[in-house]
Structure 1
Amino acid sequence: MQCAAFSGQRLIAEGRPQDVLDAVKAATDAGEGVLVFDLASGHAVEFDLRGDLETALARLPVAAPEPKKGPGRPRLGVTAREVTLLPRHWDWLAGQPGGASAALRKMVEAAMREAEGPDRARRAQEAAYRFMTALAGDLANYEEAVRMLFAGDRTGFAAATVDWPQGLRDTARGMAEPSWAVRPPEAV
């Protein structure tokens, strides 16, 4: 996870949680209010800052261990779930090479590949919006920046954020960057 820590609208640290914790702890110990954001999702991140820095670092979450696999294809991580289809769908799936499960996996993989760009753009927009709402909601041109973000107008977004504090502006622009690569399809 990559995160950014802000004291007010001032960027105080950016990087992995263990890289920003020192600055976050120092700022909070000095009485400053600090907000930390996950740059991928735009969600606020909380650290347990009790004790000294080493104690706080030791409490950072570590990667969760792999859950024990059950029956099925454990090497692939296959999970059995129920799917409800009409009889004609089951008939068609049964006639596919590899059977129903293989055909469904192929269709899901194809749909995931097709939607990858628009999904990534949508997630980037939502993350940037969450971040901007938390820190930039009272800044000049906030509403315009949000409109430009969701309109897919990179130039308009840059113009709307030009007068924002540098760290906040650069973070918002960085979070929005993946949304410019592929514009999500328009709602019908």
Structure 2
Amino acid sequence: MRVYLPCTLPALARVVAAGELGPAPLTGYAVTPALVEWYASGDTEELEYVALTEAARASLRMLAADRADGVEVAARRVVVAAEIPDSIVTMGTDLEERARVRLLKSVPIAELASIHVDDLSAAADVEAAVAALPAADHGDDDAQFAVDGAEDHELMWYATQEIPDLLS
């Protein structure tokens, strides 16, 4: 199963140093039966895009958490895609999070399929989205508009061999 895992650039550096993404359990996003049922008209590619988008939203929250902890982190969403055996993936029943899954084991770096990262041109909108998250969580429509603005930017695709270039 293809699983999209939210990340940040500092977290990606830790993945490289450790040789794995972990520790488990990990939250990811995938094409689940609940997502397929909800998005009945979509093909597999569209459904994977929905899962990738959910992971990118979660990456925004990771950026906000890093900053709250005093970590200097670039305003770029990062999503790691991995091929995961179904046997280590569990799916919830939360209708609000139809694509959310939990991984019961860490993911070795060899199982990573690709990395998806915001282009530098998205930084201002990602910055605005991170700043707006608290107000958006409290129902502020203008703040939600700022958070949604980050999604106007497509994540760039990188092969796993390009990770060192992303981190330099």
Structure 1 and Structure 2 fold alike (TM over 0.5): no
Q: TM-score, normalised by structure 1?
A: 0.23
Greater RCO, 1 or 2 (C-alpha within 8 Å, sep 6+): 2
Bigger Rg, structure 1 or 2: 1
Bigger strand share: 2
